[in-house]
Amino acid sequence: MRGEIHYMKKTKKALASLAIAGMVLSMAPVSVFAADEDTRLAGADRYLTSIKIAEKAYASADTAVVAAGNPNNLVDALAAAPLAAQEDAPIYLTDKADMNDDVVKSMKALGVDKVIVVGAAASKAVVDELKAAGFTVEEVKGAGRVETAEAINAKLTAPAGTFVVGYDGVADAMSVASFAAANNYAIVVTNQNGTPNGTVDADYIVGGTTRVKDIAGAKRLAGADRYDTNKQVIAELDFDFGTVYVGNGLTLADALVGSVLAAQTNSPIALTDGKTVKADIASNLDPDSVVVALGGTAAVSNAVIDAVKNPPSNGVFAVDTVSAIAADAFAVNFTKAPADASKITFEVKQGTAPVTVSATWDGAKAALKKSSKFVAGTYTVVVKEGEKELANKEVTVTEQKIAKIEITSNKLGVVTKDAVQTGYATYKVLDQYGVDITNSALANSIEFITGVGTANAKKGLLTIEPTGVNLLTYTSGIVITANDRNSGASTSATLAVTSQVGTLTDITLNKLTNADGKELTAGSTVDVFYIDYTATDISGNPTNNYELIVNGLIGKDELTVSNPDYVKATVVHDPKDSTKALIKVVTTEKTIDYETPLMITAMTWTGKTSQLNVDLKRQAAVATITLLAPEESVASGEEGTIPFLAYDQNGNALTKYSDLNDDTVKLSGANWKKNLDGTASIKSEKVIVTGNTSVPKVITASVNKTGKFSSITINIQKPVKADTLNLDEKVIKSLMQEASGSEVAATQKIDFGYDKGGLAVKDQYGRDIDMVTAGDEDTAKYEVKAKTSDAAVVKFADGKNVAKAGQSQIQLQALKAGSATVTFELYEGSTLVDTKSQTITVVQDKDIKDYAIDSVESAIYAVNGLTGYTAGSKQVEAFNANPKVWGLTSGGGKVVLRGTPVISAKVNSPYFEVISGDNGAAAYDKVKVVANKLDASMTEATAELSVTIREADGDVFSQTTAIKSSKVPPVAQTIEFEYDTSIAGITFDDDIVTIDGNAALAESGLAVGQSLSKYIKGSGAESDSSIFFSAKDQYGKKGMNFDSISFVDDEGTGFKVDSTGVITAMPTKAGLVKVTAVVSGKVKPVGIEFKNISGEPGDTTAPVVTGVEDGKTYTAAVTPASADADIDTVVLTKDGTAVDGYALGTAISENGAYVLTVTDKAGNKTEISFTIDSESKVLTGAFQDVLGVKFVDVTLPAGVTAVDGVAKDGVAVAEGTGYTVEGSKLTIVDVTDANVITVTIGDDVYTVVK
């Protein structure tokens, strides 16, 4: 075909569409001509419209098809569509008695030489006129419409499928017309008795049995009338719903006109009777879908279009159908959208076993998706609205299988490199639900065979390696067959061999994109851009395959840039799927003086060129700044934070201190401050207010280069004073159980938030006063004293009735039954500031009528037993569920229980473990459960936690609560830096914790071997340090490991930590160190400032051990040694058992897991964990971090090009999303060298090491 139809998916689809579109425009009423083509389409004269369509689609054509546009001959035009697709020809319409002169002119303008005249159009008058006009004419016709269709179909080569329509079934055929055109299906017309001539291998029958008799193996799509048939067709066939067309089912003309556009996007055409549309369209529409009316408002009213998009809500709400739509999903279709979807519940079971699914609503349709594939079998789906059962239906799921293999190329591209030929083609694989599974492991079972050599298939790309033959000599084509022995699916295709150079016919550079919406700026080397592109392979199919893109471009992976000194454009592997290609654009370090236009050019070997014009912005420089009023009041003696907005010359916001400082913006009344994360902030100068009124303070900012100016005036308020005490009644319970004998009394702990909470202090400006972390003198003078109105009812445990700044608590204890008022008094020194009170009722045992246990709302991480987490450690315990047990009064009030009422706690699943309370004698708040490692095939587990409670009179109660675990790894939501400023000499301000003096340093818990992470990585022990990082994950827990903890000691304090946060050396002098914690892509920088560190603290350097490294696995003997002269003790354990008498310098050769601990005479300790496995196998990997994507490239053993499995920390990784294999290179994503990565090849298991 000559000419260009860039919007077509395939040329044949386009042609088939044009064939249908040009059939019968004559019936369209003239009133529809003036229409908005985005939402309403109309046609005028049928013949002129066919010309318009042909010339829109073709710049030139060698062949054209002419069909009769007379109403009684529409079936001829329908049947001609596949032939036109095959011949790469447009379809024109003419009156069967007289060749249309305008059509003749159009065909000549396109350069048509040959005209195929079909059916009734092949009258002597039409044929003679065409010959007289200089065309070569071929007649394809029969005695009637049936025979004409047969003659047309006899000329078709291997259609993909067949629809059979009735003799007068134009309306039924119209329902499938766009699908047939888009998917290369033939159309067979039956005789008037409903039977086709001869034997027909049909895929679908369209229409009822009165029009078409049953055909063995064919599926019938039929309804009570043409509109119901249209509904069945749209529900059955795999249409796309980005655009939907609506046509009048009586006239049909407008619907036929719209088929051309419908086929281009594989869109359905819904038929209307002028009032309603029976087909279910609304539930399939996306938010950006477009509904287009075919014809004027007389044919398709605006009301009909509105009803299609928003079906009337009247009628009974009920379940229509329940079916499997994918290997991991069911669909529940309702008669209309629910009034309140939250009231609709779904229960899925296989037998009696519940199956967890998640429901996603789309109008009147709910998709029930499982986290993994359904196991083959019969499932029961129960749908309820509240307590009312709407449906109880069975769905049978068959094992996912390959249902269709499609070789999507029609040409074999041949590339010659170093005298070696390689052929390229593409393919697609669908399962029984029509889901594309080309990239799944299931598709790997397909065997591709060709007689010219070896056919290798991988993720949609078929590579042909010839054996002793020249592929270009096969002028008749190369046959490729594909077969899946498991399902029996097969296909065969004959691909024409093209001698064109390269693997692409065209490429178009569309636009430059950046994930953060940034503009291409000179010198900004950290910003990465990508070019959105479209490319077509030699068969005209869209492609983004890396091999096809690289082999199809001149320059391979380098695109041409008009000024390469400043910008580079390269073709790279997509890190998420290495089979796909991205075009990456980055700037070099060079800067420019003014905005510069650039041109990026991609050129295929076929001579197609695409150019993308981009503007390279000048590197950022501050141009304007605007000062804003502070969010909170600034009080006397405070450095208030002044918000600001700063922009560069391109309108981009600036926040970095490198861009905003005294050299670029001059401040008055305030100062620039460099934050630890590199950003800039403005701090107002301190002002001391001595009077009773506020003092105004003017702050100005002036941009040095542009002169832009901003000014604000803030009022400095009187010095901060505590003003209000708040009690949290959710924390402080009003009911407690009476004391009894020697049992520990019911106790409540109350503090400012470091542990339990319950108390809060606000200043006179309504701001919270930080009573946990703040340690300055002003805050230290505040305290809360508690008093009880009756110490015989409620007393303070061990006299703890005062809460101060930092880690101190008030502890209430219940004694005898009765009521007491506990008064909480806030003091500044000796001055009473505020008072709040809470009445505590101590209830008798007989008033406790029942018991309850808290529900566990969120899943817990299945961590116990995972690699990287020590089983039973404090770190694992941090992921626990901790439901509390309460007594209940007759009114349902929760009572804090005394003593140890929990006598047992059990779970009914091996995937959970009770770590506190399982053996009884546990307090009401001490039941703790952790989740164990799940099997590789599992993603979650559920269980019932049963807690047995013994009440005062000896009766036993049992309470249960559901508990759930998840395999989803923890992802940090926040990073918290924690510290204890109740220790004298420890303060915190502006992300810097200050440790003032040796005594404060000793009290801080900082010491060699302790960690700046809450838990010590490896052992899982809790750090003794009171200064540490913790990461709060999506489970609400703080147990996860950090990716890294780094430090910078520019001032030479001598303080050191390793990459896990373990302290390896203590400071020997004063100074500031910067420590940064990184996890889940989040970064938290803080400062630790050591002040007044006097004298030499002695030897703080841990022993240096050589010959063995922490965390490594060795395949041969190792000999640990040390040159240090002050070694005191050496302890070696093997598999947890001490090795008696071990001395450094002695070789270790036996297989096992070892821990070597070496301590010097100053108490400094080095601990090294390592493994000896003489039979272990290792692979070396290159660990990388590109744009936040962490992955490792592993070179496989010689001759190995596939693996049988990959696991990370003991959990299987999915092929395609978790790892890919390309040749001898294995790429595993979302991993670091901290993970334990294993690769299975045959019977061998390899460990990946750096």
Report residue 4's pLDDT band, with 50, 70 and 90 as the boundaries: very low
CATH says 622-717 is which class? mainly beta
Angle at 241 between CA 239 and CA 245, to 5 degrees: 95
Residues 803-820 have a mean pLDDT of 89
Strand 114-118 and strand 1219-1222: the pairing is unpaired
Strand, coil or helix: 260: helix
Please determine, for residue 11, whether its predicted confidence score (pLDDT) is greater than 60: no
- What pLDDT, on a 0 to 100 scale, did the predictor assign at position 1044? 92
- What pLDDT, on a 0 to 100 scale, did the predictor assign at position 57? 58
Length of the chain: 1250
Residues 54-68 have a mean pLDDT of 80
Q: Which of 567-571, 807-811, 1017-1021, 1209-1213 has the highest mean pLDDT?
A: 567-571
Helix or strand (DSSP H, E) at 1045? strand 1044-1048
- Tell me the C-alpha distance between 276 and 295, whole Å: 16
Which DSSP string do the residues of 529-540 spell out, in sequence order? EEEEEEEEETTS
Task: Report the amino acid identity of residue 288.
Answer: D
At a CB cut-off of 8 Å and minimum separation 6, what does 507 contact? 533, 534, 535, 536, 549, 552, 553, 602, 604, 608, 610
Report residue 620's pLDDT band, with 50, 70 and 90 as the boundaries: confident
Q: Which of 236-245, 1092-1101, 1154-1163, 1196-1205 has the lowest mean pLDDT?
A: 1092-1101
Residue 1007 in contact with residue 991, Cβ under 8 Å? Answer: no
- What pLDDT, on a 0 to 100 scale, did the predictor assign at position 952? 77
Angle at 243 between CA 242 and CA 248, to 5 degrees: 150
Report residue 252's pLDDT band, with 50, 70 and 90 as the boundaries: low
At a CB cut-off of 8 Å and minimum separation 6, what does 852 contact? 885, 886, 888, 894, 959
- What pLDDT, on a 0 to 100 scale, did the predictor assign at position 1087? 92
Residues 1206-1233 have a mean pLDDT of 88
Please determine, for residue 30, whether its predicted confidence score (pLDDT) is greater than 60: no
Fold of 1177-1249: Immunoglobulin-like (2.60.40)
Kindly report, residue by residue over 1221-1248, the tens digit of the pLDDT: 988 899 999 998 888 888 888 878 888 8
Residue 1091 in contact with residue 994, Cβ under 8 Å? Answer: yes
Q: What does residue 1116 show for φ and ψ, rounded to 5 degrees? A: -145, 175
Question: On the CB side of 77, how many CA atoms lie within 13 Å of its CA?
Answer: 35
972-1091 CATH = 2.60.40
Helix or strand (DSSP H, E) at 782? strand 782-788
pLDDT-above-90 percentage for the chain:
43
Please determine, for residue 21, whether its predicted confidence score (pLDDT) is greater than 50: no
Which DSSP string do the residues of 651-669 spell out, in sequence order? S-B--BTTTSSTTTEEEES
Tokens representing 977 are 């830096």
Tokens representing 525 are 């080397």
Question: Looking up tokens 């922009």, which residue turns up?
Answer: 647
Kindly report, residue by residue over 470-501, the tens digit of the pLDDT: 988 888 899 999 999 888 889 999 998 876 66
CATH architecture of the region 726-840:
Sandwich (2.60)
pLDDT-above-70 percentage for the chain:
92
Tokens representing 981 are 């400023």
Q: Which of 31-35, 514-518, 591-595, 686-690 has the lowest mean pLDDT?
A: 31-35
Report residue 732's pLDDT band, with 50, 70 and 90 as the boundaries: very high
- What pLDDT, on a 0 to 100 scale, did the predictor assign at position 44? 62
- What pLDDT, on a 0 to 100 scale, did the predictor assign at position 721? 85
Please determine, for residue 42, whether its predicted confidence score (pLDDT) is greater than 80: no
Residues 1069-1092 have a mean pLDDT of 90
- Tell me the C-alpha distance between 185 and 125, whole Å: 32
- Tell me the C-alpha distance between 675 and 655, whole Å: 10
Fold of 504-616: Immunoglobulin-like (2.60.40)
Residues 433-438 have a mean pLDDT of 88
The larger pLDDT score, comparing residue 76 to residue 451, is at 451
Residue 1058 in contact with residue 1168, Cβ under 8 Å? Answer: no
Report residue 313's pLDDT band, with 50, 70 and 90 as the boundaries: low
Residues 454-459 have a mean pLDDT of 91
The larger pLDDT score, comparing residue 593 to residue 974, is at 974
Residues 127-149 have a mean pLDDT of 90
**Sequence ranges of the domains in the chain:** 11-309, 319-397, 414-498, 504-616, 622-717, 726-840, 850-966, 972-1091, 1113-1172, 1177-1249
- What pLDDT, on a 0 to 100 scale, did the predictor assign at position 1076? 93
What is the pLDDT of the chain when averaged over all its residues?
86
- Burial track 1216-1227 (b if 16+ CB lie within 10 A, e otherwise): eebbbbbeeebb
Kindly report, residue by residue over 973-1022, the tens digit of the pLDDT: 999 988 887 787 888 887 889 998 888 888 889 999 999 999 998 899 99
- What pLDDT, on a 0 to 100 scale, did the predictor assign at position 819? 95
Kindly report, residue by residue over 1089-1113, the tens digit of the pLDDT: 998 876 445 567 889 999 899 888 8
CATH says 850-966 is which class? mainly beta
Please determine, for residue 528, whether its predicted confidence score (pLDDT) is greater than 50: yes
- What pLDDT, on a 0 to 100 scale, did the predictor assign at position 18? 31
- What pLDDT, on a 0 to 100 scale, did the predictor assign at position 915? 92
Residue 826 in contact with residue 725, Cβ under 8 Å? Answer: yes
Q: Which of 608-612, 752-756, 836-840 has the highest mean pLDDT?
A: 836-840
- Let me know if the fold of 504-616 is the same as that of 622-717: yes
Please determine, for residue 23, whether its predicted confidence score (pLDDT) is greater than 70: no
Fold of 319-397: Immunoglobulin-like (2.60.40)
Residue 675 in contact with residue 642, Cβ under 8 Å? Answer: no
- Tell me the C-alpha distance between 125 and 365, whole Å: 56
Spell out where 1115-1217 has E strands.
Answer: 1127-1134, 1137-1138, 1152-1160, 1165-1172, 1177-1186, 1189-1195, 1205-1208, 1211-1213
Kindly report, residue by residue over 930-974, the tens digit of the pLDDT: 999 999 889 999 999 999 998 877 888 899 999 999 999 999 999
- What pLDDT, on a 0 to 100 scale, did the predictor assign at position 887? 93
- Tell me the C-alpha distance between 1030 and 274, whole Å: 66
Report residue 1's pLDDT band, with 50, 70 and 90 as the boundaries: very low
- What pLDDT, on a 0 to 100 scale, did the predictor assign at position 1245? 80
Question: Looking up tokens 């970095």, which residue turns up?
Answer: 656
